[in-house]
Amino acid sequence: MASENPTSVEYIKHHLQNWKVCKTDEGWVWNQCQDAGFWSINVDSVIFSFLLGALFCFAFWRVAKSAKVENPGRWQSFVEMTFEFVDKSVKDTFHGKNPLIAPLALTIFVWIVLMNFMDLIPVDLLPWAADKINVLAFGAEPGHTYLKVVPTTDVNVTFGLSLGVFFLLLFYSVKVKGVGGFVGELTLHPFSSSNKLVQIILIPVNLLMELVGLLAKPISLGLRLFGNLYAGELLFILIAVLTSAGIGGFIGGGIAYMIWAIFHLLVIPLQAFIFMMLTIVYLSMAHEDH
C-alpha cells in the first residue's frame, strides 16, 4: 500500500486503482497517474484482457487440432458442451443468416467468463507479487504498485465490448435494411400514420424515442457487466479487510470468502451469458428487414 500500515480506507482505495500509463506535460509516464484525466491507459486491464483472450484462442485451437471422435478427453468434452450450448442459444434466438454470429457469441461468452473468473483469485496475491517484482527489479518504493486483475471491473473494458457490439448493430442495420430502411426505422416508428402531414410531424418524436432506445443498448450492456463485477470485487476487498482483524476476523473472513466465492460462481457465467444473449438479440433485431 502507499504506507506500511494502511488504514482500511487506504487499503480499499489502493485495490480499486488501476496500473496506469498517462500523458503529462513531460510526456507519457508509468507512475504518478492516479489523478490522471482522460489521457491515460489502464495497463493491467489491457494485459489481462489480451492474455485471457490468447488463452481462450490457444485452448480451443488445441482441442480443434487434436479432437477425437472416439473416447474424447474431458477437456474436449467440456469444449464441445460449451460450443453446443452457445450454438443452440444462437439458433433459438437469432433469426437471420450470418455465419459471424455464432463465433462472435462463443468468443464473447468464453472471454467474459475467463475475465470474470479472475475475481476468484485472492485480492492480495497478484498485487503483492507485482509489488515485490517492482521493488526488486525497478527499485520502486514498497506499496506503490497498483494492479487490478479483473478486467471486467474496469468500465473501459466493458464499454469497449459493448461498443464493439453497437458498431456491429449499426453496420448490419444499414447492410440489411439499407440507409433508407434504417433511417425509416428511426423516424417512422413507433408512431405511424397514413396521413403524410401527420407522419412528418411525428418524425421528431419517433427519432427522439428511437435514438434513446438505440443509445441505451451499449450503455446498459456495458454498465450491467461492470456494475455486477465491480460490486463483487469490492465485497472481496471488504472481506480481505475483515481477515486482518485478529484471529476472529481471519476465521470469519475466511468463511465469508468461501460463501461469497460459491455464490460468485453463479454470477460469473450468468453475467457472461446475459451479455452474450443480449448481443445475439440486438444483432437479430438488426437483421430484421420490415
Task: List pLDDT tens digits, range 111-135.
Answer: 999 999 999 998 889 998 988 888 8
Q: Which residue has the higher pLDDT, 177 or 23?
A: 177
Q: Is residue 274 part of a domain?
A: yes
Predicted local distance difference test score (pLDDT) of residue 288: 84
How far apart (Å, rounded) are the C-alpha atoms in residues 236 and 244? 13
Residue-wise pLDDT for 93-102, tens only, equals 998 889 999 9
Q: Is residue 77 part of a domain?
A: yes
- Do the Cβ atoms of 127 and 194 come closer than 8 Å? no
What's the whole-number mean pLDDT along residues 166-191? Answer: 91
What's the whole-number mean pLDDT along residues 142-159? Answer: 90
Predicted local distance difference test score (pLDDT) of residue 163: 96
- Do the Cβ atoms of 131 and 143 come closer than 8 Å? yes
- Do the Cβ atoms of 144 and 2 come closer than 8 Å? yes
**Chain CA centroid to CA 6, Å:** 30
**Strand, helix or coil at 161?**
helix
Is the pTM higher than 0.75?
Answer: yes
Q: Is residue 74 part of a domain?
A: yes
Query: In the structure grid, which three cell numbers stand for residue 149, read together?
Result: 486483475
228 among known catalytic residues:
yes
Query: Which positions ≥6 away from 90 have C-beta within 8 Å?
Result: 101, 102, 105, 280
Q: Is residue 3 part of a domain?
A: no
DSSP annotation string for 20-45: EEEEETTEEESSS-TT--SSEEEHHH
Least confident residue range of 151-160, 167-176, 232-241, 278-287: 232-241
Q: Is residue 2 part of a domain?
A: no
- Do the Cβ atoms of 183 and 172 come closer than 8 Å? no
Query: In the structure grid, which three cell numbers stand for residue 43, read together?
Result: 495497463
Catalytic residue (choose from 77, 192, 193, 220): 220
Number of structural domains (the chain) is 1
Catalytic residue (choose from 31, 98, 224, 284): 224
224 among known catalytic residues:
yes
How far apart (Å, rounded) are the C-alpha atoms in residues 71 and 67? 10
Please choose, from the candidates 152, 75, 154, 90, the residue with its C-alpha nearest in 3D space to the C-alpha of residue 120: 152
244 among known catalytic residues:
no
- Do the Cβ atoms of 124 and 139 come closer than 8 Å? no
Query: Which positions ≥6 away from 140 have C-beta within 8 Å?
Result: 31, 131, 134
CB atoms within 10 A of CB 53: 16
Q: Is residue 1 part of a domain?
A: no
> Which amino acid, 148?
K
| Range from 29-33, 54-58, 121-125 that averages highest in pLDDT | 54-58
Mean pLDDT of the chain: 88
CB atoms within 10 A of CB 30: 11
Full domain range(s) for residue 202: 8-286
Task: Please measure the distance between the N-terminal and C-terminal CA atoms of the chain and give it in whole angstroms.
Answer: 58
- Do the Cβ atoms of 44 and 149 come closer than 8 Å? yes
Q: Could you tell me what percent of the chain has a pLDDT over 70?
A: 90
Predicted local distance difference test score (pLDDT) of residue 62: 92
Q: Is residue 202 part of a domain?
A: yes
What's the whole-number mean pLDDT along residues 227-234? Answer: 93
Q: Is residue 191 part of a domain?
A: yes
What's the whole-number mean pLDDT along residues 76-103? Answer: 93
Please choose, from the candidates 151, 150, 119, the residue with its C-alpha nearest in 3D space to the C-alpha of residue 257: 119
Residue 212: pLDDT over 60: yes
| Range from 190-194, 202-206, 222-226, 240-244 that averages highest in pLDDT | 222-226
Please choose, from the candidates 127, 181, 182, the residue with its C-alpha nearest in 3D space to the C-alpha of residue 1: 127
DSSP annotation string for 197-213: HHHHHHHHHHHHHHHHH
Catalytic residue (choose from 42, 116, 134, 228): 228
Residue 24: pLDDT over 60: yes
